[in-house]
Structures are given as C-alpha cells and as structure tokens.
Structure 1
Amino acid sequence: MENPRGKHPAGSRFQALVDHIYGPYPDHVFLEEELKPKPAADNLIDLHCVTIYAGKKPIGLDQSEYIIKPPETSFVHEDHPKHVPISFCGTLEIRDLSWLSKKGRLFLERDVRNHDKAIVPNNKERREISLEQVLNSTRRGQSFKVYLLCRKSLLAHYLTAKSRPHELLIYSSSADGLVNRKFAVKSLHVESFVASKTFLARYRLRALLAELSEIDNNQTPVHLKDYSWVVNSYLTHILPRDMDAERRRKLRPIAELSPYADDLRHPRHIPLSQLHSELAEHSEWILANHIGKQGSVRDVPKSLIYVPSWINWCAEAYSASVEAKRNGVVWGLSESVDLKKQKRNSMSQRLAEFGESETFWKLRLQAWVKCSKRYVDENRDKPVLPARAIQPGPPAAYGGLEYDSDFSPDYTSSEWSDSDNIETSEISGALKEVWFCAQPPQIPLGHFVWHCPGQGCQKAINLLDPSREDIALLPQDLARKLQTKRWRTQDISVQQALAAMVSHHYQHEHLAMAGFHQGSTKIGPRFQLSEALRKPNPRKRAMLMEIKDEDSS
C-alpha cells in the first residue's frame, strides 16, 4: 500500500539524501584548507570517476600531460592563442564532516535540505534537518557524496609517486596559489579514460622497465641495457612469474582507473608479441621520459636504459613503423600519423611532441650520449656479464602445431622447465633435423617476411604479399583480413594466418620427410611420431609434440 502524500518513511528518506550526489563545489572553497583526511597518512584525498576538462570540453591525460612542460603548439601552454584552463571534477565521499570548511558545510546543508524538499514536496510538518541527523539515521559507514571541481596544476604522476607508487596522483591549486592539494584518482570517467589510454600504456611500460631494473640490481652493466636486455629480462623474470598464479597473487596491485571498476588490480600480463609492439610504439617517449632530467656521469649507472643504444633502437623502430604504414599496415605509428610530415621530422622534433622544444631535446640527447659513453669508458675494465642475443619480433600465438608463444604448456608447465634440457645425444638424427618445427615462427621486428629456418630451405612467406598457394590454405575470414593490410603483426588473426601457413609448410616439406605422419582434428593438423622414431621417455616425447589424433578416438 502506498504512503499518503506527504508521508515518507524516514529510513528511505534519509537513505535517498545520502545516495544523491551534490555539487559541484570548488575544492578550495568547499574543503577545509588544512584538510588531513584519516586514516591516510599521506593526507591524500581519494576521488572517483574523474573527468578532466579543457575549458568546458572533456579531455584525457593524453592531452593534458607532457614531459616537463607542454610545447608551444599545445593549447595547454599558457602562451598558446587558444589556451584554456585545465580543470578536473570527481566524486568525493565525505567520510568526516570535519573535512568541510564553514562555507562548504553551509553549501552542503542547503543542498541537502533542498533535495529533501524535492523528495516529499508537501510535507508541512518537515523540520530543518542537519547533516549529522541524516548520517545517524542511515546505515553505519554511509557518507555524503559530492562532485568536487578543481583547478589542475602540476603534472600527474602514475606509478611514479613515492607516497602512492601504484596509483595515479593529480594536483590542484586555487587561483591565488595559496591552497594546493593532491588527490589519488581511483577511477576515470569513461570520456577521460578513453582519452588517457596512451598515457596509461606509456607509464605502465615505464613501470615495467623500472621493475626489471630493480630485479637486475645493477648486475648488468649499464651499456648492455638495450632493447634486447629488456626483452630477455622480461622472458627471464616477468613471464615465469605471470605464469604462476600463486606468485602473481602476491604482487602489489595497481590502479587500473577503469570507469567500470575502481579497485586496485594485479598487473596485467603483457604477451610477448604486445611487448614488442608497445616498445616500438613508445620507444621515443621512453627515451624522452628518461633524458628529460639533466644528465651527468653519476646518473648513468642508475639509468633504466643505455641511452646511446636506445637512440639506435628508436631509429630502427621508427623506420620500421614508417615502412609498415607505407604498406598499409598499422604498426608502431597510429593511423592518423601523416607520413609526409613524419618523413621531414628529426628525432629531436618528434621528441618535442612530448613536451619542451626541439632545441631542448637536441641538447639533452647530446648531453646524455656524452656522459653515457664517458661513464662506460671510465668503467671499461670492470667485469661485464655476457649479453644474450635474441631474435626480436612478434611471435605467432596459435597454429596447427598448437603452440603459444606466451602460454605454451610445452614450455611453461610444471612438467617441463628451462632446467629440463633435452640431451641432444638422445634424440635421433631425424628429430634433430626438424627440431625447429616445434618453435613458434618469428619475424624480426619491423619486418613482414618469414624465412624458413630449415637448413637450405628457401621458403619465405611475405605477409604483405602472400602467394596464392599460401592464401588458399587460410579460412576465408583470415584470408580477407590479411589481404586488407589493415592489421598489426601482433593481431591474433594475423598470428593465426602465419601459423597456419608455416604449419602447412613444415608438414609437407620437413616433418613428412623426417618420418612424421599427419593426423587431423577439428582445430587443425596434429603430428604424430612414427613408431620407428619413438623414444622411451614419455615426458620428452610430449615435448616433441607427439599428439594423438582426437578425431580417430
């Protein structure tokens, strides 16, 4: 039965007052000037569902954040003709009414009473309620929520602040500069989240480099900290950890900042193919982020990367990205990049897109190269660790041989580890000849042609111009995808296509000649070792990809 007009259950009435979000209010007016929220020892205020604005237009961290200071071409720069102030607005849960200034309390109390009148408009017996009365009449732990409007100042910190190393910090300042605050962003509004993905990806990649450097603990000489070192360290330390669920649960969570879940999450595993792609895409930003500070010889041993080698890697990755885009493939560079404009740009000009000026980056590059080489020369006589060579490139993640470059059970299960080396002397000559068939096909970074590793084999598969015979091996959807040339080499569909073509070549040109015969399944070809070539050790046979024909069972 409905309540008579003017009669409203007190519990639901007060709950409705708490559920409503009030505001927006300017932070420097609404909050106590010397606010020290408890139990936060670092005096940080948590904000949820944060939106960043340029004037009245929603933007993201991709537009508002730069290295050191924005370039003169950015509207964020104070001297830009179209400069607009940057602000942000987020939801604040007021856990303690002492957080409010005198004006803030008056504002909130006024709006709560107005909302109360809107809930039951004709209640003549209504008394003016207080904020304490509302909170005392609701469930324990309830709090008022308000929109807080802040004038943005300083650069945001993501995964780099000492006080909250796993979160995003953003800063505000009053117009007169007398009131300055810092906030921990728990989540971003969907508009700002979408426009912040590049910023977040870059700093997560930087956090990975910092973690690898911390794990290394100065065991690797700084001049060996190049692109190969990053990938090898990832394969050695991060990948095995990510494959272990128990070890992964012990990691410190980081702020994902998704508008759909503002809890801290464990770091997401980065597939090796994606690591190659992101290193290429953000290589120059990593360089700029690293050399932005003034360099000296004493800074070199603490470096996350060796600058001279990284500059060479940036040039290679950029050249490969441009070549890919020229062939209609998006890799390293976004689709919106103008090739003609990029061709004219020098590295210092491209670095200036991240902040500061071309002249600034020219001087920084020269200074860091000089001090890095000087440090290496001065420490040349010290013992060094041997560098491991790698063949970079986005590996296939699926194919007829059922391997996965990041999660292959043949390489990562508890039944097989790096310590379980197969003794070559125990493997027959035929198996040694086709051992490469158990390895995922790899293409060097920035290239699009796979060359068969078989001795004397001239087979090559050009992903940009596959032969009719190779295309005929693919399902129609994969064939169409490959022929559009609107793909990245790390795309799952492209990896599937490459794996299928390579698998067919291995089957007919190498495995059959070595004594393997083909089975078939619903998801692709399987290979079974001929009886004459079987070995007695079942675990090693499994490693040699002896898989039963599922359809025949």
Structure 2
Amino acid sequence: MDLLDQPFGPYRDGDILTETCKSVPTGVLELENVMLECGGEPIGLTECEPCQPEYAVSRIRAYGVRFRGVLKVKKLTWLTPWARKVLEDDVRNRDVQSRISSGGVARSTLTLDNIYARRLTIKVVVQGVKNMPAIYLFSKLVPNGLLLTSRDRNRQYEVKTMDVSTYKPSRLHLHRYRTLKVMQQLIKLDKQTNTDDPDGTPVIERTVFWFADLYLKHMAYAASASKQRFVYTSSDSDIEPDTNGQLKEGRQRTLRHLPRAEVLSLLATHAEWILADHSKRKKKYLNQDAWAEWVVDVRRGRREARNADVRWGVMDDAQLPATLTPEGSDADEDDIPAMPRRRGKAKKQKKQTQTPSSRTLSTASGSRSTTHHDVSRYGKNTSINAPNPTTLRTYDSDFSPESTPPASPSSSSASLPSRPSTPPNPEIMALLPIEFMYPPLLPLHFRWVCPAADCRYMINLLDMSDENCKALSDEDVRKMKAGGWVIRDRWVRRCFKTMVSAHYDDHLDQMGIVMWQEKKQWKIGWKKPQHHPPWPPRRELPATSHKGVKIEEEDVSLESSD
C-alpha cells in the first residue's frame, strides 16, 4: 500500500514503544537510515565510541549522543495507547489527502487494526539517547552486524543502514573491527586445522607474519573465497546484505595472485589500534612484543611509502599526516604501544603533496574508482589531505532566520547568519530536545505534533487554530485558510516553519532561554544570566604583570537581551 510507504514521525522511543517492544534472539529490532547526533552536529562511531583513539570525550560529556532511525512496527502491542491514537489519526489524514488528490471522497475509515489484519505494517521514525558502547560483529544478539542500545529500557536495535552523515565518519571504526574479526576467524581456523596442538599455535608464535601467512593459506585462495569477500566496505554493490560478505547470486570473482605485502598493508592500517586494544584484554591472542616491534617498522614504512608517493598501511581515503618523524629518530621506539592521536594544526611544510582533482570515494551506485576487496590497495596515493566529511556538512538549526520569526525565504545565502565563534552553552543545549536542532519536517498528512516531552501541541495545516496563526501575517493566514495551495509551495513551507518556530520560542521562554541577533550572528543565552554560571567560563589571568602594565579581567560572559 503506497499510503504506508513513508514513515510517520519522528517520535521519541520512550513515548511510543512499550515494554514488549524489545530485541530477543528470535527477533531483533531493526533500524534503517540511522543518524547519530551530538551537540546539534552529525557524529560517527569513530568519535563517539570510547574504544577509539579519536573519541571526542569532552563533546560527548557535554551533549551526549542521540540517534534517529526508521523502525518497522511489526506488532500493535509494540505501541503505547497514545501512539496508537496519534498514528491512527495520521494514517487517516494521509488517506484523506490521497483520496482528495485522486478525486475521491474526503473521508477515511482506516484503522490500525484493519491495516494489521491485512498483514500490512507501518514505519515510524524513532529517536532516542544512545546508551552504552555500540557493538559491531562481536555481539551474541547481532553477530554479523551493529548493535545499538537506547537509554529507554536499554532497548537494543540492529542498525541495518546508516545515513551518509553518520556512515562516513564511522568507516574507520567499522573497518577496524572487520579486521579484528578476520584475525579472530584465522585463530579459529588454525585451531580446527592444527593437528599438532588442539589449542592451535601458541600465542608467542602469533606474529603479524603468522596472521598474514594464515590469511593467504585459508582465506585468500579458498574455494569459497570466489563467492565471498572477507574484508569489504558496506557500500560494496556486489555484496548481498546481511550475509557477512557473500556475493550476490550469479556474482563470482576470479581470484588473483595476492602479494603478501597487501595482507601486511591491511594489518598495518590498524596496527596501533589492534595493539592498544589487545593490551587491554585479559585473554591474549597475539605476541604483543613482536607486534610492538613491528609497529615501529609500520610507521617507518608509511613514511617511506608517502615519500615515494604511494599508499601503504593506511585507509584508502585516509588523510595522511602532514609531518612525519625524521629518519633515525628514536621517537618510534619510545611510544609503543601508542594509540593514534588526534591531529592538531600541523605546521606547513615547504614541500607538500598536492591533492589530485579526482577523489577515490564510493558513489551511491556502488561504483568505485579505487577501493579494497580482500585487503587494502598498495598503490598510488589518490586522496592526500582529503577534507573531513563532517566539516563539509552543516545542518540548519532552529537558530536560523528561516525558522525564527520574522521568517524569510532561504533562497539567498546572504540572509543566513554566520556561525558563532563561541560554542553554545552546554548547560542550555542539554535542555533542548534533539528536534530543536533540525528543521521541522512538513508532514505529508498536514498535521505536526510538537516533539517536546509532555507537549501535545498540534498544527493542523488544514484546520489551523488562532494559536497556530499568531506568528503569521494576516495575508498568510487568509491564503492558508483559503486552501488551493500545495505542500511544495515555498511560502507554505515558510509559514509552517514560522508557526513551528513560534511554538519553539514558547518552550524557550518557559525554560528561561532567549535568542537574539547581533549583526549576522544568532546568539543564545539565559534570560537571567546572573543566576547561572558564566559562559564561556572566565579565564584566570596571572596575578602579576610587567611593570607599567595593568592587567584586567576580561569579561567574556554572554550578554542578555533584556
């Protein structure tokens, strides 16, 4: 039924899902198109998981991580009474609009019971707060996928697909655990095939070269390898979903000669992380001393490969370091095992490698100019100094002119304010629902319900109340109530966002929060800042100064609009 193709929502998982809606071994809740958000900006697993060296600890502590995804409601018992009522109204409204557009009677008798009696289902956009680390490939509940836990009842979901804004900054995390999974599979294969020792090769002999040789022996040229990729990217169009790397029906690859150097390059890509992760484990599975010595060679190998304008021991789209330790330095030997550190602003070198005009990124159709199948490519460097995708993508918040009265069309970029130089107050941001960070979605059924907790405020575009219209001009109210408009009209969308923004302003007022504009910047602060800690915090200046220079404390607190 086309009527149910698009999901309803968004709703908080704690508001619409009951206790019976939970993952069990025989049935795991599945989320599609999952997006992670922190402080109003997209975030990936590489930055929001504590096990990663790139973990953004201060950002996570300040804002937490929230998620949004599409859930297929397979049973009506999953829904709370309030959710059933709202969803049934939404279904009927969507049905009415469909009938009107096709010239039918503007009436609907659809019910959720009728829909599910016909073995149909509805989809909803749920959102919640992430709780506990995500688990990829190593959970009992989802052994071949990604497990995400919500704060509400510790409900667990399997992430089937990700929004691109979350997937791209998650690739490093996912690739690390795929490599670790391959290593665990190799150890298992060794135990199954080792006739000398039922426990397999002793840990002291499990060097990086042992893993490389084992991969070449059991995986690279195995008969099943022609129909499976052990190390792959999630965007690979040849892979059958949910099969752990199995190729689609009718697809088969010709196994090529695999140099040992390529296998070593794959292991070298995550050598530091594997070593650091292993050092935290009680049960050891590799020779840590031998790996630590090899990491020194890896860092030297990366430096030599970069100088030769080739790519080795790094991700296929990784940004190579701008500065490398000079040859002969003892720094490599002093910091083993060492986690990769987040790069700061590197000093400019006299000689820099230019970024080619063509990028080796996966496309939506699945075609790639350069990628890795079983192991990472060892070849020409094609994406040095590639920009971080998260810095190229910005999301409008409710602090933009388009959704804050007086509203104005966003066709001109000149009307948009520049981003504030001072980060928003984390105490304020913690109070704001996640929905306030994104432009409101204009529902196809013409009814919008406020997503804030315990708020049932509604805007029905087909039957607007005086409260809904208080922020609109008389002309806009007349045109909206006269009908004859379509949801694609720019002015209709502007009116909708203006009404939503006015309601959000009421919430801000109740929370004692105020927004104001200075030139092209929008600022947010407390109505009564004297009752709250200053933001940004005052900087402590030294008590002494040079002779003849008087040091005064700099006032950096946010000013009030009162």
TM-score, with normalisation over the residues of structure 2?
0.51
How far residue 282 of structure 1 moved from its aligned partner, in angstroms, is 0.5
CA distance in 2: counterparts of 1:104 and 1:26, whole angstroms: 10
Distance 1:127 1:490, change over 3 A: closer
- The correspondence of residues 13-28 of structure 1 with structure 2, limited to 5 A, is 15-28=1-14
Q: 1:224 aligns with which of 205, 215, 219?
A: 205
- The correspondence of residues 94-243 of structure 1 with structure 2, limited to 5 A, is 94-121=73-100, 126-136=107-117, 140=119, 142-174=120-152, 179-217=153-191, 218-242=199-223
Contact 1:256 1:264 in 2 (8 A): no
- The correspondence of residues 390-469 of structure 1 with structure 2, limited to 5 A, is none
Secondary structure in 2 matching 1:49: strand
Distance 1:156 1:69, change over 3 A: farther
How far residue 210 of structure 1 moved from its aligned partner, in angstroms, is 0.2
Secondary structure in 1 matching 2:222: helix
Which one has the bigger helix percentage? Answer: 1
How far residue 323 of structure 1 moved from its aligned partner, in angstroms, is 3.2
CA distance in 2: counterparts of 1:220 and 1:116, whole angstroms: 65
Contact 1:33 1:101 in 2 (8 A): no
Residues 371-407 of structure 1, C-alpha deviation per residue, up to 9 Å, x if partnerless?
A: xxxxxxxxxxxxxxxxxxxxxxxxxxxxxxxxxxxxx
Contact 2:309 2:381 in 1 (8 A): no
CA distance in 2: counterparts of 1:264 and 1:172, whole angstroms: 22
Distance 1:330 1:74, change over 3 A: farther
CA distance in 2: counterparts of 1:237 and 1:349, whole angstroms: 29
Aligned partner letter, 2:168: V
CA distance in 2: counterparts of 1:257 and 1:309, whole angstroms: 32
Residues 166-215 of structure 1, C-alpha deviation per residue, up to 9 Å, x if partnerless?
A: 111111103xxxx2111111122233222222112111110111011111
Equivalent pairs counted in the alignment come to 323
Contact 1:254 1:265 in 2 (8 A): no
1:320 corresponds to 2:320: no
Question: Which segment is superposed worse, 128-137 or 221-230?
Answer: 128-137
- The correspondence of residues 256-267 of structure 1 with structure 2, limited to 5 A, is 257-258=234-235, 263-267=241-245
Contact 1:166 1:255 in 2 (8 A): no
How far residue 17 of structure 1 moved from its aligned partner, in angstroms, is 2.2
CA distance in 1: counterparts of 2:78 and 2:142, whole angstroms: 21
- The correspondence of residues 456-495 of structure 1 with structure 2, limited to 5 A, is 490-491=378-379
Contact 2:312 2:379 in 1 (8 A): no
Secondary structure in 2 matching 1:237: helix
Residues 479-513 of structure 1, C-alpha deviation per residue, up to 9 Å, x if partnerless?
A: xxxxxxxxx9712899xxxxxxxxxxxxxxxxxxx
Give percent identity, aligned residues only: 25
Aligned partner letter, 1:129: L
Contact 1:50 1:90 in 2 (8 A): yes
Secondary structure in 1 matching 2:11: strand
Aligned partner letter, 1:318: R
How far residue 338 of structure 1 moved from its aligned partner, in angstroms, is 3.4
CA distance in 2: counterparts of 1:95 and 1:254, whole angstroms: 33
CA distance in 1: counterparts of 2:122 and 2:231, whole angstroms: 27
Question: Which segment is superposed worse, 261-270 or 83-92?
Answer: 261-270
Distance 1:259 1:119, change over 3 A: farther
Q: Indicate the structure (1 or 2) with the bigger Cα radius of gyration.
A: 1
Aligned partner letter, 2:264: H
Distance 1:274 1:144, change over 3 A: farther
How far residue 337 of structure 1 moved from its aligned partner, in angstroms, is 2.0
Aligned partner letter, 2:203: V
How far residue 349 of structure 1 moved from its aligned partner, in angstroms, is 8.5
Q: Quote the residue 1:418 is aligned against.
A: none
Secondary structure in 1 matching 2:110: coil
CA distance in 1: counterparts of 2:217 and 2:133, whole angstroms: 34
Q: Quote the residue 2:69 is aligned against.
A: 90
Distance 1:266 1:310, change over 3 A: same
Structure 1 residue runs of 4+, over 6 Å off?
A: 253-256, 259-262, 341-345
1:33 corresponds to 2:19: yes
Aligned partner letter, 1:491: G
Contact 2:190 2:201 in 1 (8 A): yes
Contact 1:31 1:99 in 2 (8 A): yes
Contact 1:35 1:43 in 2 (8 A): no
Aligned partner letter, 2:319: E
Contact 1:321 1:332 in 2 (8 A): yes
Secondary structure in 2 matching 1:184: strand
- The correspondence of residues 354-369 of structure 1 with structure 2, limited to 5 A, is none
- The correspondence of residues 278-317 of structure 1 with structure 2, limited to 5 A, is 278-293=266-281, 295=282, 299=283, 303-317=284-298
1:47 corresponds to 2:46: no
Contact 2:45 2:173 in 1 (8 A): yes
CA distance in 1: counterparts of 2:168 and 2:52, whole angstroms: 23
Distance 1:287 1:216, change over 3 A: same
CA distance in 2: counterparts of 1:349 and 1:103, whole angstroms: 54
Q: Quote the residue 2:48 is aligned against.
A: 64
CA distance in 1: counterparts of 2:158 and 2:42, whole angstroms: 19
Distance 1:29 1:145, change over 3 A: same
Secondary structure in 2 matching 1:148: strand
How far residue 54 of structure 1 moved from its aligned partner, in angstroms, is 2.0
1:277 corresponds to 2:265: yes
CA distance in 2: counterparts of 1:89 and 1:341, whole angstroms: 42
CA distance in 2: counterparts of 1:255 and 1:146, whole angstroms: 31
How far residue 315 of structure 1 moved from its aligned partner, in angstroms, is 1.5
CA distance in 2: counterparts of 1:100 and 1:255, whole angstroms: 37
CA distance in 2: counterparts of 1:205 and 1:131, whole angstroms: 45
How far residue 90 of structure 1 moved from its aligned partner, in angstroms, is 1.4
Aligned partner letter, 2:241: D
Distance 1:275 1:281, change over 3 A: same
Q: Structure 1: give runs of 5+ residues left out of the alignment.
A: 1-14, 355-463, 465-487, 495-553
How far residue 257 of structure 1 moved from its aligned partner, in angstroms, is 4.6
Contact 1:91 1:147 in 2 (8 A): yes
- The correspondence of residues 339-350 of structure 1 with structure 2, limited to 5 A, is 339=323, 347=335, 350=338
Q: Quote the residue 1:6 is aligned against.
A: none
Distance 1:69 1:227, change over 3 A: closer
Residues 312-358 of structure 1, C-alpha deviation per residue, up to 9 Å, x if partnerless?
A: 1111101221333345444335434232589878636841649xxxx
Question: Which segment is superposed worse, 186-195 or 334-343?
Answer: 334-343
Aligned partner letter, 1:186: K
Aligned partner letter, 2:242: L
